[in-house]
C-alpha cells in the first residue's frame, strides 16, 4: 500500500530553520523528522513512499540520494505554491485507483497503522482521519459569580477536543474532490466528505506531537529521548 507524505510547504513558523531547508528535513535528535515518519510506516510493513515536494525540494533529493534505506522513496515535484490538496491531486497518476495512506511531513505519533487501516476498511467510507487530543498548553480553572476559584486542575489533554492528527487512509475517489492546486485538503474536500457522511475518525489516545514551533520540536526531542515515541 502506498504512503503519501506532504513535504512541500514553506514552514514559515519555523523560519529559523526553514530559510535553508524544508520543514521535513529539520533534525530532531540529529535525524530529519521525515526519517522517523517513514520508519514508523516501515515498521508496520508499508514500504512505498510518494513524497510531494516543493519548497527546497533539492535538499530532500540530496538526502535520499546520499542515504539508502530499506524502503522505496519517490520524490515528486508538486510545485512551489501548491496547497495541500493540490499536492495530493498532482500524485493522481502515481496512485491510480488504489487506496493509500496520507500524512504530513511534520508530525509524529505512535498510531497503530494496522488498526487504522482495519478500521477504515470496516467502515467502508471514502476517508478516515486519525483524531487526536492536542497536548494541553494551560491548566483549567472555573470561577463562580464572585470570582472565587471553584476548580483548579493542572493542564491535561483530556480538557481539549479532538483534532486532525494527520494520519489518513483515503480511497482514490477522494482525488476527484480536489479541484485545483489552490485547494486546501483540510477545507473543501474534508468538509464535503464530512457533509456526505464519508469521513470517519479513528481515535488515537496515545502519543501525538506536531512540529509547528521550536517549542514543539523540543517536546518531540524529549519524547524520543524518553522513548515515549519509538522508531
pLDDT at 142: 72
Q: How far is CA 148 from the centre of its chain?
A: 41
Q: How is residue 57 written as a grid cell?
A: 525540494
* pLDDT attached to residue 156: 58
Instruction: Give pLDDT, residue 136.
Output: 67
pLDDT tens digits, 84-128: 999 999 999 999 999 999 999 999 999 999 999 999 999 999 999
Q: In this prediction, what percent of the chain has a pLDDT beyond 90?
A: 87
Domain covering 2-133+162-225 assigned CATH 3.40.50.2300 in the classification: no
Would you state the cell numbers that stand for residue 60, as one nine-digit string? Answer: 530532500
**Per-residue confidence band for 176, with pLDDT thresholds at 50, 70 and 90:** very high
Q: What tens digit of pLDDT does each residue of 203-220 get?
A: 999 999 999 999 999 999
Per-residue pLDDT, 138: 52
pLDDT-based confidence at 134, cuts 50/70/90?
Answer: confident
pLDDT tens for 135-163 read 766 565 677 787 667 766 665 555 568 99
Grid cell for residue 133:
487530543
Mean pLDDT of 73-89: 98
Work out whether strand 2-7 and strand 100-104 pair parallel, antiparallel, or are unpaired.
parallel
Asked if residue 37 lies in contact with residue 105, where contact means CB atoms within 8 angstroms, the answer is yes
pLDDT digits (tens, 9 = 90+) for 3-53: 999 999 999 999 999 999 999 999 999 999 999 999 999 999 999 999 999
Do the Cβ atoms of 113 and 99 come closer than 8 Å?
A: no
| Domain boundary assignment for the chain | 2-133+162-225
Rounded CA separation 161/159 (Å): 7
pLDDT digits (tens, 9 = 90+) for 26-35: 999 999 999 9
* 76: confidence class by pLDDT, cuts 50, 70, 90: very high
Q: Please tell me the predicted confidence (pLDDT) of residue 22.
A: 97
- What are the CA-CA distances from residue 206 to residues 79, 110, 121 (Å)? 34, 7, 22
Determine the pLDDT at residue 144.
77
The residue with greater pLDDT, 81 or 231, is: 81
Amino acid at each position: 500500500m502506498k504512503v503519501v507524505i506532504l513535504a512541500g510547504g514553506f514552514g514559515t513558523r519555523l523560519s529559523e530553520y526553514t530559510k535553508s531547508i524544508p520543514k521535513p528535513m529539520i533534525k530532531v535528535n540529529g535525524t530529519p523528522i521525515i526519517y522517523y515518519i517513514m520508519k514508523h510506516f516501515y515498521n508496520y510493513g508499508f514500504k512505498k513512499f510518494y513524497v510531494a515536494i516543493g519548497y527546497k525540494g533539492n535538499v530532500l533529493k540530496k538526502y535520499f540520494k546520499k542515504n539508502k534505506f530499506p524502503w522505496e522513496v519517490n520524490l515528486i515535484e508538486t510545485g512551489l505554491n501548491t496547497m495541500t490538496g493540490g499536492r495530493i491531486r498532482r500524485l493522481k497518476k502515481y496512485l491510480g485507483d488504489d487506496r493509500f495512506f496520507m500524512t504530513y511531513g511534520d508530525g509524529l505519533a505512535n498510531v497503530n497503522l494496522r488498526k487504522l487501516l482495519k478500521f477504515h476498511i470496516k467502515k467502508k467510507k471514502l476517508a478516515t482521519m486519525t483524531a487526536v487530543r492536542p497536548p494541553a498548553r494551560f491548566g483549567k480553572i472555573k470561577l463562580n459569580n464572585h470570582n472565587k476559584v471553584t476548580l483548579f486542575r493542572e493542564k491535561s489533554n483530556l480538557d481539549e477536543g479532538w483534532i486532525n492528527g494527520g494520519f489518513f487512509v483515503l480511497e482514490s475517489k477522494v482525488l476527484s474532490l480536489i479541484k485545483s492546486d489552490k485547494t486546501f485538503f483540510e477545507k473543501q474536500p474534508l468538509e464535503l466528505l464530512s457533509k456526505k457522511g464519508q469521513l470517519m475518525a479513528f481515535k488515537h489516545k496515545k502519543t501525538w506531537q506536531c512540529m509547528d514551533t521550536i517549542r514543539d520540536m523540543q517536546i518531540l526531542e524529549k519524547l524520543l529521548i524518553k522513548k515515549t515515541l519509538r522508531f
